[in-house]
Amino acid sequence: MQLHIYGNIRKESDMLEKHYKDTFERISSEKRERILSTAIDEFSSNGFDRANVNVIARKAGISIGLIYRYFDTKEDLFLTCLDYSFETLESVISSTISSETDPLTMAEKLIRAIQFHSRENSKFTQLYNEITGDSKSEYVDMLADKIEGISAKAYTAVIENAKQQGLVREDC
């Protein structure tokens, strides 16, 4: 199944599948990081349509043939970049939530961690803004739901924790 960013829309369950070939898993983590970082730079700077896979390959120091050995399509590379950015945000949030039991302190740390993550990973934010800012994309709602759902789950966990401690009313 191919994803067409400005055409057919994938269901959210399709977004959860991996978008790369097994060969991508077998390369070194440094090489994976380099490819994804380069691709994120290209997509966030130029948008999906103008992003060039040849440029990504050259800047990552690999051949275009290797890119297509790791990904079937440009769309799959793009989706892998999105998944990587989502996983990075989830990791930051998860480590923040697990480190504190006081709900007010946890909420403050969560807000600060998300702000710090956004500043430190501004390309992720640009990538998100580039895609969700394109009114032509039928894909926008799904991406917005996914990224906003990551932080919403965290805030929900903070509130549930506060309820369990009796710090927040049960009907909140």
pLDDT tens-digit map of 49-63 = 899 999 999 999 999
Residue 83: pLDDT above 80? yes
CA–CA distance, 15 with 81 (Å, rounded to integer): 12
Q: What's the CA gap between 109 and 98, in Å, rounded? A: 11
What pLDDT does 70 receive? 98
**pLDDT tens for each residue of 90-115:** 888 888 877 666 888 888 888 898 88
Q: What confidence score (pLDDT) does residue 145 get?
A: 80
- 3 in Cβ contact with 77 (< 8 Å): no
How many CA atoms lie less than 13 Å away from 45 in the CB half-sphere?
10
